Structures are given as C-alpha cells and as structure tokens.
Structure 1
Amino acid sequence: MPVLEVKDLSLGFEGKLIIEGVSFAIEKPSFVAIIGHNGCGKTTFFKSLIQSHPYKGEIFLFDQKVNKSQTSPREIAILEQRNLVNFQIKVKDIVVMGLFRRKSFFENYTNEDFDRVREILEFLERPDLYEKDFNHLSGGEQQLVWLAQMMIQEAEIYLLDEPTQYLDLYYKKVLFDLMEAWVKRFNKTVFCITHDLYYLETMDGYLLNFSEKDPRPQVLNRECLKKNINLILQRKPNKNF
C-alpha cells in the first residue's frame, strides 16, 4: 500500500501553471530526494501536501483521499527552509512544541513529554542541548533542534525543504545520515528537497526531478544522478522565476 499517491496533480504559482497532471505513488518506508531548477514547483508541491496551497487532482495518504478543506494531516510533518526565532527560549521548549497537534488548546506539556524530548536528543547524540538557549547555538545545532521537533511529532511522512542549505560539510553529512536512519530504523518516509546532490550517491531510495515535465520516482544511483544533473544543466533559465 502506498504511503503517498498523487493523481493528475496540477499546481500553479503567481498565475502560472508549474506542475501539470503529475501522477506517482511512493511505498513506505522510502527516502525520496526531490531536485530541480528554482521555480519548478518543489516547495509548492510540499505545500499542497499539507493543504496550504490550492491544487487540482487528488492526494492519497495510506489509500485515503485527503479532503482539500481539512487542515494539515497529522501523518505529515514539515521542516521549511528557514525558521527564525528572535526571542530567548530553551531547546527543550522548542522541541516539545512539536506535540501541539496532539494537545488540546489549554493542555500543558507533561513530564512524560519532556522525557520524550530527552530521548530524542539522546538519539541525536546531543543531550547537552536540552537546557541551552536556542539562539546561542550554531546553525547546524539549530537545525538539529528543528529536526528533533519533527521527530517528536511521530508522523509517518517527513517533508524537508532544503534542510542542509546553510550548513557546513559536517552538519550536511549528519542530516543525511539522520534521514537515512528515519527510513531504515523507524520505517518513516522522507521527502527531501535538496541541491546537495553529492550526498545522494550513498543514499538508498528514489529521486523525483521536477525539472522534468512528468516527474516519476527513479531509483537512486550514480547513473540516475548523472542523467538528471545533465537534464537540469541543459535547461534554459526561466526569467519568470
């Protein structure tokens, strides 16, 4: 049974059609790298999955059609490109906020919730971050905190929009290793928009190239990457984006 299936999906942005009639299915668990030129619809695709961007066509989660009028499905957690925090807050409080969809409006976080925060930071091998001020962390450490917030949601599908964009080489490798662990150890499905194609050579999974007119999942390997990189490089830039 596919964890995610889209049928005849079409998306527009600023009055222009950028994805037209796309259909594919992804089985659980899987790692799916999403690549393509700027403006080809990668982020817009993510927004359609969480019901924050209008679309035509159908989206199915575990064979159940998603209602376009509903809020973001609980099965999906998303990490967007840039998350800014300009006030003082501890790491533990940012991570535990990932439970917001499982709480009623006035319900407090419990000791068990914060125990779960500790467990996740232990898994990330950074339990030392628990009491630290988020704004005193490096960029790589901050990204780990956002990933911890994703993990505590216990979703089935993780959407990561260029999670390594501002990171150094060390933290880029850490994040790709973490995504691989989510798939292999926890049976999650991970969609990752990325331009860091170097790290994909060693990943097991699939590639979706939104620079193609009709993107379909391709098995990730060196030849697949070479072919798709050439396809992107041969494309003329679109001045509308």
Structure 2
Amino acid sequence: MFKVQVKNLRFSIDKKEILKDISFEIPKGSFVGVIGPNGCGKSTLLKNIYRLYKPSSGSILLDNKELAKMKDKDCAKEIAVLAQESNTHFDFTVEQIVKMGRYPYKSVFEDYSKEDLEMVKEMLQEVGLENFGERSFSELSGGEKQRTLIARALVQNTEFLILDEPTNHLDIGYQIQLMDLVKGLNITTLSAIHDMNLAAMYCDYLIVMKDGKIIKFGTVEEVINSEMLKDVFGVNAHVGVNPINKKIQVSFMHTHEHIKGLGTEHIHEDGFTGVHTH
C-alpha cells in the first residue's frame, strides 16, 4: 500500500521549470531519501509535497486523498515537517516552540492537556533538550535550534514525516541519534539527505534527482554505485559494504585519483572501505 503518490508533478518559477514531470510512489512505513547535487530540486520537491509551493500541474495523493483539497489544519494532522530554514524569529522558549506541534489538535483558546505536556516532555528528552525548556530559542546554537524544531515536528504525532536535510548543524553524535530516533518511529518518512553514508545506513529507498528530474528510484543497493556517483555528483568513489552493519558504504576519492570498473561487485577482502562523510 502506498502512503504517498506523486503523479506528473511540474513546478515553475518565473516561467523556469524547476520540477519536470516528477512521478513516484512511497510505500507505507518506508524511509525514503532524496539525494542529488545542490540545485537539483530536492527542497523544491519537498515544499510542493508539504504545500509551501503550489504545483504548476500534476497531483499529490496522501492515503489516496488529494493533498491540494485538504484544509490546512487537517493537513497538519497528517504531515509533520522539519524545513531546512526556520521561520521562527520570535523570542519563544524551547518548550513553547515544541508545544506548537500540538496546534492542529487544539480548538481556539483550548489549553494544552496533560497528555500534550507529557508528549512535549518526552520529545525534549528524546532530542537531548530536557533541561532546555525555559531557554530562549533565539539564544540557542544552530544544533540546539535544529533539535528543538525536530521535537516540534515529532509532537505532531503524524504518520508522515518530511525532513529537509535534517542533520544540518548537528555534530555526528546527534546526527546518528536523530536518524535512529526517526527510523525507530516506523512511520513513512521522506527526507532530503546530503550525506551518502547516512542515506545508505537509514533509507529503505532512494530517489536520485538531477536537473529537476528523477533519474533513479530504488533500494539503496540498486541506486548507489560508483557510476551513479560519477554521473550525478561528478565524483570518483568506491562503493563497498560495511562489515559491521552490512550496509552500502561509500569512500570518496581525491579528484586526481581514478578508479575503473569498481562497483559493489569489487569490494576489499574484508568488505571495508572506511568511513568518509562530507
């Protein structure tokens, strides 16, 4: 069963076509990553799906319902979003911002319930900010702000989560913690990811974008290989298998280093290629 269906989606700004006939389907409960070079349309695609942008043509279905016809509050009960940039410029506390994630479930002037407050407390603990509730959001570091906004998205308690480069501003420890947390939710997740090894570790499927088009959709094993990395990102890389978690792992080469004929079928004897993140 598909949670999300995108059909013949096109999007233009000032007569320039940014998304070009995009179609794909996301199986319910899967973690789907969107990868591709800067400017390929990853964020624009996500913004069309969570309705910040209105498609020029095509349709987006969520549980077979037309997203464009849904009311904003109903949509917020179905989709939680962690955008790349924050529009939160007001001087709220961390707890107040996380509480905002419960807004879709509240009527006008309705106060937060005990269950709401418990959920806020639980999610602050999950992202390592249990002692930050009274801190001003404006005084936080970039990573702390990111974790606050992640907690806000999670308290919406939806079955579909959209993340736009969620590990931006996070050090490696919190990157792993965040991805573990999201993966453990077992809900449908669509995320733009710039780190190839994080994508390989956590995603069930990958969408590869280039120049506003989807050029490949499939499992991590089907998608990530040295040829794709060369064609899409213009980099030389060796693709192997991590012997510990058995996941695909990418080792990037200097531009002057050339590898020929190396794909997942050519792996070091121990299968290990080393951890390289960028």
**Quick check: TM above 0.5?**
yes
1:5 is the counterpart of 2:8: no
2:119 equivalent among 101, 113, 116: 116
Which moves more between the two structures, 84-93 or 18-27? 84-93
The residue number in structure 1 matching 2:80 is 77
SS in 1 for 2:54: coil
Q: How many residue pairs end up in the alignment?
A: 231
Is the CA contact (8 Å cut-off) linking 2:61 and 2:67 kept in structure 1?
yes
Which moves more between the two structures, 26-35 or 125-134? 125-134
Is the CA contact (8 Å cut-off) linking 1:43 and 1:161 kept in structure 2?
yes
In structure 1, runs of 5+ residues without a counterpart are 236-241
The residue number in structure 1 matching 2:182 is 179
Cα displacement string for residues 40-85 of structure 1 (whole angstroms, at most 9, x for unaligned residues): 2211211211223121111111122223574372311111112254
1:151 is the counterpart of 2:150: no
Is the CA contact (8 Å cut-off) linking 1:201 and 1:225 kept in structure 2?
no
The residue number in structure 2 matching 1:21 is 21
The residue number in structure 2 matching 1:219 is 219
Which moves more between the two structures, 204-213 or 127-136? 127-136
The residue number in structure 2 matching 1:238 is none
SS in 2 for 1:108: coil
Cα displacement string for residues 1-41 of structure 1 (whole angstroms, at most 9, x for unaligned residues): 20001111112233211222222111111111111122222
Task: Quickly say closer, same or farther: Cα 1:71–1:226, change in 2 above 3 A.
Answer: farther
**Which structure has more RCO (C-alpha within 8 Å, separation ≥ 6)?**
1
The residue number in structure 2 matching 1:61 is 62
Higher helix share: 1
The residue number in structure 1 matching 2:106 is 103
Letter in structure 1 aligned against 2:147: L
Letter in structure 2 aligned against 1:207: L
RMSD of aligned residue pairs (Cα, Å): 2.4
Which moves more between the two structures, 30-39 or 205-214? 205-214
Is the CA contact (8 Å cut-off) linking 1:92 and 1:131 kept in structure 2?
yes
Is the CA contact (8 Å cut-off) linking 1:31 and 1:205 kept in structure 2?
yes
Letter in structure 2 aligned against 1:199: L
Letter in structure 1 aligned against 2:163: L
Distance 1:2 1:222 in 2: 20
Is the CA contact (8 Å cut-off) linking 2:79 and 2:161 kept in structure 1?
yes
Cα displacement string for residues 116-156 of structure 1 (whole angstroms, at most 9, x for unaligned residues): 21122233354223333333433222211111101110111
SS in 2 for 1:105: coil
2:140 equivalent among 122, 130, 137: 137
Distance 2:206 2:121 in 1: 33
Which moves more between the two structures, 195-204 or 67-76? 67-76
Letter in structure 2 aligned against 1:57: G
Q: TM-score, normalised by structure 1?
A: 0.84
Give 1:222 shift. 8.6
In structure 2, runs of 5+ residues without a counterpart are 236-278
Overall identity of the aligned pairs, in %: 33
1:200 is the counterpart of 2:160: no
1:190 is the counterpart of 2:193: no
Distance 1:37 1:147 in 2: 24
1:160 equivalent among 140, 159, 163: 163
Larger Rg: 2
Distance 1:129 1:157 in 2: 27
The residue number in structure 2 matching 1:91 is 94
Give 1:216 shift. 4.6
